[in-house]
Amino acid sequence: DAMVIQNPRYQVTQFGKPVTLSCSQTLNHNVMYWYQQKSSQAPKLLFHYYDKDFNNEADTPDNFQSRRPNTSFCFLDIRSPGLGDAAMYLCATSRDLTTDTQYFGPGTRLTVL
């Protein structure tokens, strides 16, 4: 049974056209994370929510925004995608911020034309 679900699995958008990626979880975890992973690189944390508390990484571009309307759902909005934003976007959850295991979704592969 899927615990962290991401939709869509593949997303194609045009340069500058806003796009929203979706993540949902059935684990009732407090923390949800969004990572960007480019080819052959380690995942890079963009931001995370602890409950409704939003935490943005210092080097996350303003082009990336996030929403968490409730415990189960979290969205990644890319306001004006550039070619450099093409990547795999991974959502993850954990019960808390300290030592708990992170559960990752299958990812959304974003292509920007």
State yes or no: residue 81 binds another protein (CB under 8 A): no
Query: Is 87:34 a contact under the CB 8 Å cutoff?
Result: no
Closer to another protein by Cβ: residue 42 or 83: 42
- Residue 72 CB, nearest distance to another protein (Å)? 18
Rounded to the nearest 5 degrees, what angle is found at the Cα of 113, between the Cα atoms of 33 and 92? 10
Instruction: Find the part of the chain contacting another protein (CB under 8 A) among 13-21, 22-30, 71-79, 98-106.
Output: 98-106
Residues 19-78 binding another protein (CB under 8 A) are: 33, 41-43, 45, 48, 57
Asked if 83 contacts 28 with a C-beta cutoff of 8 angstroms, the reply is no
Report yes or no: 111 and 15 within 8 Å, Cβ to Cβ.
Answer: no
In the bound complex, what is the minimum distance in angstroms from residue 107's beta carbon to another protein?
5
